[in-house]
């Protein structure tokens, strides 16, 4: 390996780590520590090096988020474990029934503590990481079979292409919701109205339609 190529390999590694860190600060924590112009400069440097050394492009490079248009037709994905939906409870009696069923299932488990948070209404998805690398994203579908939307999910900056930390598990399946904030929904519909495009009925439809 030439010295120039080795230097480029190391610089690309540093750029990928820096860009991933700053994207997490910006999109997830909402606590950016550098100006947008500085992020853009780092990203341009990465693109220039990857153009010069295309064999050094990796799957977790930020450039792979914007490499092509999202797919409109999706392949089927058979998941390892069923992806079930959440149960609803609309009364205190239903909550008590849930507690009793849980206690029967856990038998002699110690007293439980609960954490409550708002339910984000969007599109249920599963992310699969192998050795820390994002390799597959899919919709819930019927629970056993979903649709492969990996390429579309890679356009979401808040989803890491590689997990942080030094010892990622060999396999990690993450389940969550793709949702859109009310402010983002309002802005999107304003842009669609200005472009003469049909408006989305609600944030959930907009989030699902975006992937």
For the chain, give every domain's residue range: 3-65, 76-80+120-210
Least confident of 9-23, 34-48, 72-86, 191-205: 72-86
Phi, psi (rounded to 5 degrees) for 43: -65, -40
Residues with catalytic function: 119
Task: Say how far apart CA 181 and CA 190 lie, in whole Å.
Answer: 14
Looking at the chain, the whole-number percentage of residues with pLDDT higher than 90 is 48
Whether 185 and 128 have beta carbons less than 8 Å apart is answered as no
* Predicted pLDDT at 72: 61
CATH superfamily to which 3-65 belongs: Helix hairpin bin (1.10.287.610)
Which pLDDT tens digit goes with each residue over 120-141? 888 999 999 999 999 999 999 8
**Is the pTM for the entire model greater than 0.85?**
no
Q: Tell me the CA distances in angstroms from 74 to 15, 125, 130, 146, one per residue in order.
A: 32, 14, 21, 9
Label residue 97 by pLDDT band (50, 70, 90): very high
Tokens of 24: 């997490």
pLDDT above 70 for 69: no
CATH 3.30.70.120, domain 76-80+120-210, yes or no: no
Whether 181 and 206 have beta carbons less than 8 Å apart is answered as no
Phi, psi (rounded to 5 degrees) for 210: -80, -20
């Amino acid at each position: 390996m030439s010295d120039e190529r080795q230097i480029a390999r190391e610089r690309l590694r540093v750029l990928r780590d820096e860009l991933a860190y700053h994207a997490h600060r910006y999109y997830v924590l909402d606590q950016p520590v550098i100006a947008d112009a500085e992020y853009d400069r780092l990203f341009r440097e990465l693109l220039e090096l990857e153009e010069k050394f295309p064999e050094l492009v990796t799957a977790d490079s930020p450039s792979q988020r914007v490499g092509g248009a999202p797919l409109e037709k999706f392949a089927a994905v058979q998941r390892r474990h069923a992806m079930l939906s959440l149960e609803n409870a609309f009364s205190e009696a239903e909550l008590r029934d849930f507690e009793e069923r849980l206690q029967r299932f856990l038998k002699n488990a110690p007293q439980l503590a609960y954490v409550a948070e708002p339910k984000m209404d969007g599109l249920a998805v599963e992310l699969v990481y192998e050795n820390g690398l994002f390799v597959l994203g899919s919709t819930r579908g019927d629970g056993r079979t979903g649709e492969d939307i990996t390429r579309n999910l890679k356009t979401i900056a808040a989803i890491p292409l590689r997990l942080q930390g030094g010892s990622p598990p060999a396999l990690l399946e993450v389940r969550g919701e793709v949702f859109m904030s009310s402010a983002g929904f309002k802005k999107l519909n304003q842009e669609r109205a200005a472009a003469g495009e049909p408006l989305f009925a609600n944030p959930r439809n907009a989030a699902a339609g975006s992937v």
